[in-house]
Amino acid sequence: MALKNDLLLKALRGETVERPPVWMMRQAGRYLPEFMELKKKYDFFTRCQTPELASEITVQPIRRYGMDAAILFSDILVIPQAMEIEVQMKPDFGPYLPDPIRSRKDLDRVVVPDVEDSLGYVMKAIRMTKEKLADEVPLLGFAGSPWTILCYCVQGQGSKSFDKAKEFCFTQPETAHALLQKITDTTIAYLKAKVRAGVDAVQVFDSWGGMLSPEDYEIFSWPYIQQIVDALKDETYVIVFGKGCWFALKTMSRSGAAALGVDWTCSAQNARYLSGGKITLQGNFDPSRLFSPPDEIRKMVTQMIRDFGKDRYIVNLGHGILPTVPLENAQAFIEAVKSYSEG
């Protein structure tokens, strides 16, 4: 069956569109009252690991706002869980890994799993979500970048600096690269399984790429993302989003990725210039700007589309939507795009 709304896929192919497509990172959850109802009943990983819940959460924002794409409700840390690294999600704290990887001996207990077995619940959630979406809009799958996953595996929790993760890479580079390769191999198998299960495109989130210097990014992050792009680009569209990684846009634009995400610290003009002007870009509204009055949001979104240009462009935030954003403000963001016309 053909998709009723394939704007996102057209933008990923670089085709001319009436208006750019729009979706929001982290649109499935956090700020939605219907999500909060489920959150009261089920803990975080129960929501991720129960296909009925994950698929319901995925379609909630589509029902409410009618974005041009759904993104599967899940978490980047299901990968280390599958690799037999324990991950807990602590309320008001975030991810906590009680046994972080900090030595060669620690690395030896990390497995490259059979993803259909260990992450089969994700594939079930994809199939259920596709049924619920009934070919209305495309479904995106995603994974964290190997470097971003390493940050959590070594640090053991979120961090403003990921100092322990960086120290590990700089003092034990061989072990770090071996861990990065295990994560990469798992991620490739995982994303390929998602494509087989029915996702229409995938996004790689390098949330902590900007923690590295441009030189270290080329050593510890980019080569592993490139492996993922190489493995997936002939099977599906790959979007690469590196937060704080404007310095890598030129390299990224030559990778074979279909689109590149940009955060709000990089202007549309610079993003087009740095990426060579021929690749589809996605972004880059500051999520905190969704606290501005709805009228202001509409004006800013319209200006953002003019700055990027309507073609080869996907409207999005520069990072995930914040939990306290008012519903009408999220709506103003989506509607500004859906009502956009060149005039």
Assign 24 a pLDDT band (cuts: 50, 70, 90). very high
Query: What pTM, to 2 d.p., does this model score?
Result: 0.98
pLDDT digits (tens, 9 = 90+) for 233-281: 999 999 999 999 999 999 999 999 999 999 999 999 999 999 999 999 9
Which pairs from 231-235 meet CB under 8 Å and 24+ separation? 231/188, 231/191, 231/192, 232/188, 232/191, 232/192, 232/195, 232/202, 233/257, 233/258, 235/192, 235/195
Assign 17 a pLDDT band (cuts: 50, 70, 90). very high
Closest alpha carbon to 317 in 340, 336, 301: 301
Tokens of 246: 């404007």
pLDDT digits (tens, 9 = 90+) for 151-205: 999 999 999 999 999 999 999 999 999 999 999 999 999 999 999 999 999 999 9
Assign 342 a pLDDT band (cuts: 50, 70, 90). confident
pLDDT score for 22: 99
Residue 30 annotated as part of some ligand binding site:
yes
Residue 27 annotated as part of some ligand binding site:
yes
Mean pLDDT of the chain: 98
Residue 273 annotated as part of some ligand binding site:
no
Residue 207 annotated as part of some ligand binding site:
yes
In the chain, what percentage of residues exceed pLDDT 70? 100
Q: Rounded to whole angstroms, how far apart are CA atoms 26 and 166?
A: 27
Question: Given a cut of 80, is residue 1 above it in pLDDT?
Answer: no
Residue 45 annotated as part of some ligand binding site:
yes
Question: Given a cut of 90, is residue 147 above it in pLDDT?
Answer: yes
Tokens of 180: 């990065």
Q: Specify whether the CB–CB gap between 78 and 119 falls below 8 A.
A: yes
The residues with which 202 forms a beta bridge, in sequence order, are 141, 238
pLDDT digits (tens, 9 = 90+) for 44-67: 999 999 999 999 999 999 999 999
Q: Rounded to whole angstroms, how far apart are CA atoms 247 and 55?
A: 36
pLDDT score for 343: 67
* Cα-based torsion angle of the residue sequence 325, 38, 43, 187 in order, rounded to the nearest 10 degrees: -70
Question: Given a cut of 80, is residue 310 above it in pLDDT?
Answer: yes
Residue 331 annotated as part of some ligand binding site:
no
Q: Rounded to whole angstroms, how far apart are CA atoms 284 and 64?
A: 22
Residue 152 annotated as part of some ligand binding site:
yes
The class that CATH gives domain 7-338 is alpha beta
pLDDT digits (tens, 9 = 90+) for 91-130: 999 999 999 999 999 999 999 999 999 999 999 999 999 9
pLDDT digits (tens, 9 = 90+) for 192-243: 999 999 999 999 999 999 999 999 999 999 999 999 999 999 999 999 999 9
Residue 13 annotated as part of some ligand binding site:
no
Q: Specify whether the CB–CB gap between 57 and 47 falls below 8 A.
A: yes
Give the 3-state secondary structure of 39-65: HHHCCHHHHHHCHHHHHHHHHHHHHHH
Q: What is the per-residue burial (b if ≥16 Cβ within 10 Å, else e) of 303-312?
A: ebbeebebeb
Q: How many CB atoms are closer than 10 A to CB 223? A: 16
Q: Rounded to whole angstroms, how far apart are CA atoms 55 and 185?
A: 26
pLDDT score for 153: 98
Residue 305 φ then ψ, to 5°? -65, -40
pLDDT score for 47: 98
